[in-house]
A and B are shown apart, each in its own frame.
Chain A
Amino acid sequence: AQSVTQPDIHITVSEGASLELRCNYSYGATPYLFWYVQSPGQGLQLLLKYFSGDTLVQGIKGFEAEFKRSQSSFNLRKPSVHWSDAAEYFCACNAGGTSYGKLTFGQGTILTVHP
């Protein structure tokens, strides 16, 4: 069965600093990978997704993520964090097939931004 691991439960960065949120997946074939962001009490907003092709994908709000098959990782990055980026971030995987319709989520990483 597929699984997604976000090793960091909580990350704190200073405004203007760079950010990297880690995501590791476990799945035999090429997974379809997503990053979502959730502000407190809100729904999930899609930041970016990887299906195939270029392993560096660009998303909204200045985020990017890199798919590394050798490391089974799909880490999210941002060169300079803004206070408004404080939120919870979820990495997710969709294997399709017998798991049709089922996104497998990581446990989430809460990002705190210090001024």
Chain B
Amino acid sequence: DTEVTQTPKHLVMGMTNKKSLKCEQHMGHRAMYWYKQKAKKPPELMFVYSYEKLSINESVPSRFSPECPNSSLLNLHLHALQPEDSALYLCASSQIDGSSGGARETQYFGPGTRLLVL
């Protein structure tokens, strides 16, 4: 089973709202990722968690706050977003392969959350 689930599928929020995106996997993967994808563009990496610890933050604005409460769950807390933050937010997970420096880690993606900020 290579399933990553994400909720909600769609989200509309105002610029003053606080909302959260949720991602879950039960493949025993110990690396989890958040990506942002704008239309007609490839995904852009936002955050990487390894063993439930934040290992990469790609200079993402603080209005995005990730959280990894356990090895199966990954959240993305949203606050005071801007209209330009409207996008498809993708979660992914992978095994950790230290022997290859991470290069052999195959990322499996969820279906995404379509976010619209008004």
Contact = CB atoms under 8 A, between A and B. Distances in A.
B102 A94 contact: yes
A97 B103 CA distance: 7
Interface in B97-113: 100-112
B88 interface: yes
A105 B42 contact: yes
What is the interface residue range for chain B against chain A? 20 to 34
B33 A101 contact: yes
Given A94-B102, A101-B55, A44 B109 contact: yes
Interface stretch (B43-51, B61-69, B74-82): B43-51
Given A34-B106, A44-B90, A97 B43 contact: no
Given A94-B103, A96-B102, A42 B111 contact: yes
A56 interface: no
A107 interface: yes
B103 A32 contact: yes
Interface residues of A, number: 27
A42 B112 CA distance: 6
Contacts of A32: 100, 103-104
A96 B106 contact: no
B88 to A, nearest CB: 7
Given A32-B103, A97-B103, A101-B55, A46 B45 contact: no
A108 B40 contact: yes
A83 interface: no
B21 interface: no
Interface in A18-52: 31-32, 34, 36, 41-46, 49, 51
Contacts of A51: 104
B48 A101 contact: yes
B98 to A, nearest CB: 10
Nearest to B32: A101
Nearest to A32: B103
Contact of A96 (B2, B41, B103): B103
Contacts of B31: 101
